[in-house]
Amino acid sequence: METINNKKPPITGISPERAHFSVLSPKSPINLVIANSQALNFDQINITSLLSAHEISILERRKLERAKREYLASRYLIKQLAQQFFAYQAAELTTFFDEHTARLVIKYQNNTLPLSLVISHSKGWVAVYLAHEPERMGIDLEFMSQKRPFLKLAKHFYHQDEVKEIEAANPMSDTFFRIWTLKEALAKAVAMPIAQLLSPNVYHGYAKHNLAAYSCQMNGFDFSMATPITVKQPPALVEVSLKPDLTGFEQTAVNRLHHVI
């Protein structure tokens, strides 16, 4: 993980009602953030100030504590990013999964906001991408568990060229997870089920859809982003530390993404 010391003051959150990444319509908005949700304390969080009624109903259906924390953290971050562009309070915004487009959208009073949104989560960490342009984007975050039988799984699911790449790699786990996150990011960018993209060569898939890929590793996770090839400079992955009661956050690191496809 790479920490960059910026000359500007650190980005710090104060309350959930308004965005604290920047002012409305910023010239250089924050588009991509990641945070660990495991320290959130349900007893301290004012749920009704953060979530819409629809989102509260979804949260109540989550059974696992980790899933609840990931949901809360992702919606908090989504709304903090959205409030860079729209001066609505957090509970006035609601997230819906659009079955027609197979994409997550943000609504205000039943009106879908013109925002591009993608999320990913793994082992309590959540990553959120949000931009003010209708771009085809995809992201994926995956914990690099060393207990998985990498080669066995690759031979069963991956393209034979990808299997050869993994066999030649040292360590094999890095390449296995990199290919996995590339496939997941591609699936989200083109709105296709991941099952349809496991066996095809992922590099050919990016070329077919005129997409580029950028990746990095951090905190034991692999992260990949799929973007249109017209995007010359991908956003940095901004890591933030959330307060347990979700009344703020502070920036702790900036991770550079590297061009891989």
* pLDDT single digits (tens) 74-131: 999 999 999 999 989 999 999 999 988 889 999 999 899 999 999 999 999 999 999 9
User: Structural domain boundaries of the chain?
Assistant: 1-135+231-261, 140-230
What pLDDT shows up at residue 26? 55
Report the pLDDT averaged over residues 206-210. 97
Tokens linked to 77: 């971050």
Report the pLDDT averaged over residues 229-243. 92
CA-nearest of 68, 67, 93 to 79 is 93
Helices 172-190 and 150-157 cross at an angle (nearest 10°) of: 40
Residue 191 confidence (pLDDT) above 80: yes
Residue for token pair 């990808």: 162
- End-to-end CA distance of the chain: give it in Å, rounded: 21
Residue for token pair 């991908």: 234
Exposure of 35 in the CB half-sphere (CA atoms within 13 A): 29
What pLDDT shows up at residue 148? 84
Q: What is the mean pLDDT of the chain?
A: 88
Residue 37 confidence (pLDDT) above 70: yes
Residue 4 confidence (pLDDT) above 90: no
- Class of the CATH domain delimited by 140-230: alpha beta
Residue 139 confidence (pLDDT) above 60: yes
Q: What percent of the chain has pLDDT over 70?
A: 90
Residue 182 confidence (pLDDT) above 70: yes
Tokens linked to 140: 């994926």
Tokens linked to 112: 């879908």
> CATH for 1-135+231-261, among 3.30.1280.10, 3.30.70.260, 3.90.470.20, 3.40.710.10?
3.90.470.20
What pLDDT shows up at residue 181? 98
